[in-house]
Amino acid sequence: MKTERKLSRAEFVRRYGGVYEHSPWVAEAAWERGGGGVGAGELRGLLASCVDSADDDAKLALICAHPDLAGRAAVRGELTADSAGEQASAGIDRCTPEEFERFRQLNDAYREKFGFPFVMAVRHSSRQQILAAFERRLRNEAPAEMRTALREIHEIARLRLEAMADVN
């Protein structure tokens, strides 16, 4: 289903620029490909296609735009509203001191090994599931882990678009 009117570039980027964390370039690229006039079902695929066709540097920057889970930004209250809500839904904001320390250790080990933050669509996960995924994914090789991070980012975007549809 097409939208009733085509959104201007500014309206489109304002509305969808945060779907991919701190990466409005994804919405800008989608608008250039006709995104201002597509329906919600087509939009998800169009946004994902813009990420998938981007160069490796842009993909790495997109991954790096994501905050560490239970990291410094969360402690300082500097997360985007979407990220804060997603982490809270998994109970990350209610970690015990021991869990916070385990998240810190895993975040550090992951960044050291891969050079980018651990990204996971945590909305329907528990802290224990997230910690287990951290440990499992630390065994991956860098190319496989980059692909996994991008799949998780697409899932985060899907969930954010669905939440926007519920509000609008």
* Structure token digits, residue 15: 């509305």
Side-chain half-sphere CA neighbours of 57 within 13 A: 0
Cβ burial 3-29 (10 Å sphere, 16+ → b, else e): eeeebeeeebbeebbbbbbebebbbbb
> Which one of 22, 66, 124, 154 is the catalytic residue?
66
Longest dimension (CA), the chain: 52
Q: Are 74 and 92 in contact (CB under 8 A)?
A: yes
Q: Is 124 a catalytic residue?
A: no
Give the active site residues.
66
